[in-house]
Structure formats: C-alpha cells, structure tokens
Amino acid sequence: MDLFYREYGNGTPVIMIHGLLGMSDNFIPLAKKLAEQYKVILPDLRNHGNSPHSEEFDLSVLTGDIIELYHKLNLNSAVIIGHSLGGRVAIYAALKNPDLFSRLVVEDMAPRKYSGNKSINNLLQVMSRLDLKSMRSINEIDESLKQNIPDARNRQLVLKNISRISEGVYEWKLNLEVITRKVESLMVPVFEEVAFTKPTLFIKGGRSNLIRPEDYKIIYKFFPAAEIDIIPNAGHWVHADEPQLFLEKVLTFLVA
C-alpha cells in the first residue's frame, strides 16, 4: 500500500500515527515542533485521509503498511509514536519488528482487547446515516450533526473527513463503509509472545479511561522498560488538550 505521508525536519526519524477517523494533519503542529530536532514522518493510514482505500483493513494490514513505508524511506532505525488506533499499530509494529524501532510512545491506548466502544460506534452510525448528497454547505452538515453529536470536537473530527468536490457537492475522504464494517477487527489484543524491551512511554489522559490501572500489569509484562505518564487535565486527545506538556513529555523521553 503506497501510503500518503508528510515529512518535516531532519535527524533521527520519528514516525507518528494518527487515530481512528483521524489523519496525518492531526499531528502537524506537534510535528513542526519535533522537527526542530528530528525527522518527523506523518502517514495517513489506509482508508483514511489521502491514502488509498482498500477492502483489507485490520491491525495486521495497517501495521504492514507502516513497515512498508519504513523500508520505502530507507530508514535504519526510528522512533514510533501512535495515538489511539495509531497507538495500537505502533505497539504491533514494535512487537513484530523490534529491530526496526529504538523507542515507542503510545498515547492513551493499552494493548488489551477493547469491546463495545459506544462512542466510536455511535459516531460511525451517525456518519453512515448522513446524506451528504442532500447537503449544500459545511455549515449545513455541521447543523445536521449537532443533534446526534453535541460535542464540537467530535463534530470537527467528522467534518475533517468530508471533501468538497465542487460547489455544494461533498463526499467522504475516508472509506466509511469498510471502516464501519471492520472496526471490531481493530480492537483485538495486540501483545505478542515476545516483549519489546526498549524504552517505551505510555501517556494517559487523566480524564480518559482507555488505560486503566488493571492494564498496567500487561503493559509492564510486554514492555518491561515502560514508563506510564498521566497528564491530569487531558482527555483521550492528550496532544490536543495539553500540547505543550505532551511535547515536553515526548522530548524528555526521547533524550533520556
């Protein structure tokens, strides 16, 4: 899969992977700061953003795409960072290919199985019911979403996935049908029999419950060098809620 990607800066490569329904530009402000010291690579996962669409869509395939991009860019070693679904891909990539990555950063995600994610499933169902053909402006689309998606950040996540083809004509950027049908395949456990023993940082949003105290045992089992850092005032989107603190945590970890 020939993924779309953005690239900033020079130095040690850092691959940053966005979450479900996200895209590479979610990380641009952070990437530009990191690019003062590192070479930062921001891919769009398949079926997201500007990357190609495909019927094949699970953690193994997504991880394979990242490894393919790694080799395409002739990298010898890289730091890998992932948020949410991107964190699961980063975990899987590090466990399956430990020789390729020097460090791992996981933002608000654990290696365990996730099930019954009502928030994501609700979002996907609302998006699937949205009749873009009848909409004539982004404002109209936003207004139509408010009843079912009252949270402005979640609506913005949806709106960023809509492309304007021409005046009053819109379509989805992402492969909504495949993502909706196969979302549960992304929630399986991602740990392996072999541990990733290199430096690892799990960053948890203090207002998020996606990393729980009972997850710590499995994190330390498969990532024995892991640190778990909690940013109290952040939700699931830690890098957006507390961008400066998130950046400081990552930079401190990278030079430790």
48 catalytic? Reply is no
Alpha helices (runs of H) in the chain, residue ranges in sequence order:
28-34, 59-72, 85-96, 118-129, 138-146, 152-159, 176-182, 216-222, 238-241, 243-255
Rounded to 10 deg, the angle between the 85-96 and 59-72 helix axes is: 70
What is the residue whose two structure tokens read 């809620």? Answer: 241
Which residue among 36, 68, 143, 177 is the active-site one? 177
Gap between the Cα atoms of 33 and 8, Å rounded: 10
Gap between the Cα atoms of 28 and 61, Å rounded: 25
Which residue among 208, 236, 239, 242 is the active-site one? 236
Written as six digits, the tokens of 11 are: 């130095």
Which residue among 24, 51, 84, 208 is the active-site one? 84
41 close to 86: Cβ distance less than 8 angstroms: no
Written as six digits, the tokens of 1 are: 């899969």
185 catalytic? Reply is no
Q: Would you please indicate which residues are annotated as catalytic (active-site) residues?
A: 84, 177, 236
